[in-house]
Amino acid sequence: MAPVAFAPYNSHDFAVEEATVPDSPPPSPDRPQQYLHSLANGLTLVAEFIPAVRSAAVTLLVPAGAASDPADQGGNATVLADWMLRGAGSRDNRALTAYLDDLGVQRSLSAETVFLRLAGAMLGKNLLAVLPVFADIVQRPMMPDDGFEPAIDLALQQLDAIEDEPSHKLSLLIRERHYPFPFGRPSVGKRDDLEALTAERLRDDCRARLTPQGSILAVAGQFDWPALVAAVEKAFGEWKPLTPTVLEILPGPRGNLHVTQETNQSQIGLAWDAVPDSDPDSILLQAAMNVLSGGMGARLFTEIREKQGLCYSVHAGYASLKKQGAVFGYSGTAPDRAQQTLDSFIHELHRFEAGVTQEELDRAKIGMKSRVIMQGESSGARAGAIAYDFYHRGRTRTLDELRDLIDGVTLKRVNEFLAANPVKELTVVTIGPSALEVRGLGARG
């Protein structure tokens, strides 16, 4: 099992067994270095060695997120995320917590749309002692009876808390309306489903869904690659693959939705379709998004917040499922300015389609490159980034590759892309005292 370094490698290389590349050069001690190792059971280990840090960050993605919750059990993944930490392998709840605390591991387990995400940050010297415990958590969770009711209660309380936070509630509603089912399902679940759930049903669901097939283990920071591969093989090699859940996909409801609520601020959410992250053109959209909403000089901020003073918060961000991307826009504003805010937002979308200027693009590229370099200094950020890189495109990208990608963005390419990909249909959700009229783009749908 000789290590193989790749920087960058092409999208088919990850299927190549490392043993077939025995003569790859050893990693240079002062340069970041990326690695990949595929386990026979379907788990993929990706890693980025960061010479300058003493920390190591781990992100383990298991395809058992909210999207694959059974149809009538919305929220299972969220309850599982709590329950699974209440003891695993030979360690009960208390022993598991004590073991990880004794190694100074900051960790979290959360239900995302596609994945359950187990993340940890620690000193590199403790990495190999932590991996077997992470393996226990996903392969041998105890799911003790006495931990089930508290886990359900906590999920119900999360739902209550969201009702008290209109901006949070909006962010869930706009995803649910825009994304195809089941990718818009809120990971916090539904009250009726949670109240009907039993420990036995959740155990069955857990046994049916936690699989190495399609799981990704990302490590960034300080480690020794051969030792890491050996430790991962030992801890995760026996994890049995299951038949993956096949998701039945249905279109999202889309259109416009208003929820009347006597809030002090009106909440406005917008969504429109975009290319997926794996599309080679997604870098063009990302550059353009930085012109629209990248910071204090970006259009939404200067035009709607600064010049017109319409709202304190206004922004838009690109997100991507594996086969489909979307842009989500948000504003929280005074009810008597909400209509004008929505109109102005849509006006900016028209301007967006018409293209950006050379000056705007240059500025956006500088910001993107700065953030790439700064991200490279954080083991936690890099572990998350390479995990999702692998999910979206079957390979990881080095910082150098990301920099080259940004350098290759030209005004011509961006503006041709924007003209060819107009905002065809807008999904709009509002929460507040009164409904708004969606004028302009919405009508084109």
Whose Cβ is closer to a copy of itself: residue 260's or residue 264's?
264
Whose Cβ is closer to a copy of itself: residue 135's or residue 361's?
361
Whose Cβ is closer to a copy of itself: residue 246's or residue 296's?
296
> Rounded to the nearest 5°, which phi and psi values hold at 347?
-60, -40
Footprint on this chain of a copy of itself (rule: CB under 8 A): 51-55, 85-86, 93-94, 97-98, 100-107, 121-123, 147, 149-151, 153-154, 157-158, 160-161, 163-167, 263-265, 295-297, 302, 305-309, 311-313, 332-334, 359, 362-363, 366-367, 369-371, 373-374, 377-379
Q: Which residues pair with 333 in a beta bridge?
A: 266, 311
Provide, rounded to whole angstroms, the least separation between the CB of residue 343 and a copy of itself: 17
DSSP 8-class letter at 13: G
Whose Cβ is closer to a copy of itself: residue 307's or residue 351's?
307
Give which of 113, 149, 150, 129 is closest to 321, Cα–Cα: 113
Rg, C-alpha atoms of the chain = 23
Give which of 61, 56, 68 is closest to 123, Cα–Cα: 56
Provide, rounded to whole angstroms, the least separation between the CB of residue 97 and a copy of itself: 4
Provide, rounded to whole angstroms, the least separation between the CB of residue 238 and a copy of itself: 27
Provide, rounded to whole angstroms, the least separation between the CB of residue 309 and a copy of itself: 3
Provide, rounded to whole angstroms, the least separation between the CB of residue 183 and a copy of itself: 25
Whose Cβ is closer to a copy of itself: residue 43's or residue 291's?
291
- Return the number of other C-beta atoms located less than 10 Å from residue 81's C-beta: 22
Using DSSP bridges, classify how beta strands 427-432 and 106-111 pair: parallel, antiparallel or unpaired: unpaired
What's the token pair of residue 431?
A: 């929460």
Provide, rounded to whole angstroms, the least separation between the CB of residue 372 and a copy of itself: 10
Distance CA 356, CA 364 (A): 10
Provide, rounded to whole angstroms, the least separation between the CB of residue 164 and a copy of itself: 5
Provide, rounded to whole angstroms, the least separation between the CB of residue 60 and a copy of itself: 17
Whose Cβ is closer to a copy of itself: residue 57's or residue 274's?
57
Whose Cβ is closer to a copy of itself: residue 72's or residue 165's?
165
What's the token pair of residue 158?
A: 């999360």
Provide, rounded to whole angstroms, the least separation between the CB of residue 263 and a copy of itself: 5
What's the token pair of residue 250?
A: 């249905």
Composition of the chain by helix, strand, coil, percent to 5: 45, 20, 35
The terminus-to-terminus CA distance of the chain in angstroms comes to 54
**Distances 439 to 218, 314, 334, 340, 368 between C-alpha atoms, Å:** 45, 18, 19, 10, 33
Whose Cβ is closer to a copy of itself: residue 147's or residue 442's?
147
Provide, rounded to whole angstroms, the least separation between the CB of residue 409 and a copy of itself: 15
Whose Cβ is closer to a copy of itself: residue 22's or residue 309's?
309
Q: Which residues pair with 320 in a beta bridge?
A: 325
Cβ(177)–Cβ(184) below 8 Å:
yes
Whose Cβ is closer to a copy of itself: residue 177's or residue 363's?
363
Whose Cβ is closer to a copy of itself: residue 178's or residue 299's?
299
The residue whose two tokens read 């406005």 is 268
Provide, rounded to whole angstroms, the least separation between the CB of residue 11 and a copy of itself: 29
- Return the number of other C-beta atoms located less than 10 Å from residue 260's C-beta: 11
**Distances 100 to 57, 88, 128 between C-alpha atoms, Å:** 14, 12, 12
Give which of 422, 409, 412, 411 is closest to 281, Cα–Cα: 409
Distance CA 263, CA 311 (A): 15
Write the CB contacts of 419 (distance below 8 Å, at least 6 apart in sequence).
353, 354, 355
